[in-house]
Amino acid sequence: MKQYKKKQERRNILRAGISLASAPLLGSLVSCSREQPDLKVQEAQDAAQVTQAPPTLLPTEALNDRVILVSGAPGNVLALETDNGQVLIDSGSATMAPSVQLTLQESLDDSTVHTLINTHYHTDQSGGNALFGEAGAAIHSHEITRQWLSSDHYIPAEERWFSALPVIGRPTHTFRDKEEMTAGAESIEFGYLLEAHTRGDTYVFLRDSNILAVGDVASPLRDPALDWYAGGWLGGRVDAMDDLLEVANADTLIVPAYGPVMTLAEYQAERDMMWHLWERCSTLVNNGRSAQDILDTGVMGEIDRTFDDPYKFLYDTAKGLWAHYTNFGGNVV
């Protein structure tokens, strides 16, 4: 399969432990050029948000007799019930986490969460970490996700600073490539997806249930997001989607961070769309075209989907391609 040239070399670099720019480094670089607001104020604002509204029951969907999908947190949270409590995949936002907790208490016999796995560092997937960490959950993530969650960092798209999670909410167990665990009757595999949406994306495969949580690496509801500032880019996205096709089979239920459970065919269709965008956008960026230029070519009209904000997607795509131009033989300077 045609791929950009340096993929394997990059993976080898990561496996050798020579990490690329990490979250703390990026954060410190930004802090050199911009005055940092009082983080205590931000923390107080975040804490106030958490207490704004009483928790409410969220929609649930039973995917089998031991796995339920909680939605509206604001994204999806997956819960696996075992004899001694639950494994949770993502924790929802800080605001919604109490509602996730209430929903789990109402839906499952034993609402103790003993294990939490974060698919990536974004606050809508990790904002409830502290709540479940305080309740005793061991928190697993990719090592780079732990770095982001443990560091104050700037969020360019929102023009604000993020305060590191309190220690109780930070991942306690990290991995770099792949990890296995057993929980009740379920064998669980989770692994790294290189630079697909952030630089710390993780898939979680409930092998016996044949349910695959992919975080924001598939996005059937919202525009696919490429967090270029954290290392996500279109080439990494397509590669990661291909890697997941090797994990899934025709009967796998694929759970994105937002939106409905996907069949393999639906997932394949999104992968093919991203591949088309990769082929067109990488060529255009390689020829010096801007996001607006690409929009003007009508590329977004060539796919079977209407994006809410096509310019933002192309802007983030171009940013990511610039950051990775040596990976696909580009001459962008």
What residues make contact with Zn ion under the rule CB under 5 A? Answer: 122, 216
**What's the min distance (Å) between Cβ of 125 and Zn ion?**
6
**What's the min distance (Å) between Cβ of 109 and Zn ion?**
31
**Cβ(95)–Cβ(127) under 8 Å?**
yes
Residue closer to Zn ion (CB basis): 216 or 316: 216
Three-state DSSP class for residue 162: strand
Contacts of 249 (CB under 8 A, 6+ apart): 210, 264
**What's the min distance (Å) between Cβ of 228 and Zn ion?**
13
Rg of the chain (C-alpha set): 19
Residue closer to Zn ion (CB basis): 66 or 271: 271
Pick the closest to residue 146 from 132, 131, 126 (CA basis): 126
**What's the min distance (Å) between Cβ of 123 and Zn ion?**
9
Residue closer to Zn ion (CB basis): 139 or 217: 217
CA angle 15, 20, 24 (to 5 degrees): 120
CB atoms within 10 A of CB 146: 23
Helix count and strand count (H, E) for the chain:
11, 14
**What's the min distance (Å) between Cβ of 96 and Zn ion?**
15
**What's the min distance (Å) between Cβ of 122 and Zn ion?**
4
Residue closer to Zn ion (CB basis): 146 or 289: 146
Residue closer to Zn ion (CB basis): 186 or 216: 216
Question: Measured in whole angstroms, how far is the alpha carbon of residue 233 from the centre of its chain?
Answer: 13
Report the greatest alpha carbon distance in the chain: 58
Residue closer to Zn ion (CB basis): 122 or 289: 122
Q: How far apart are CA 239 and CA 278, in angstroms?
A: 11
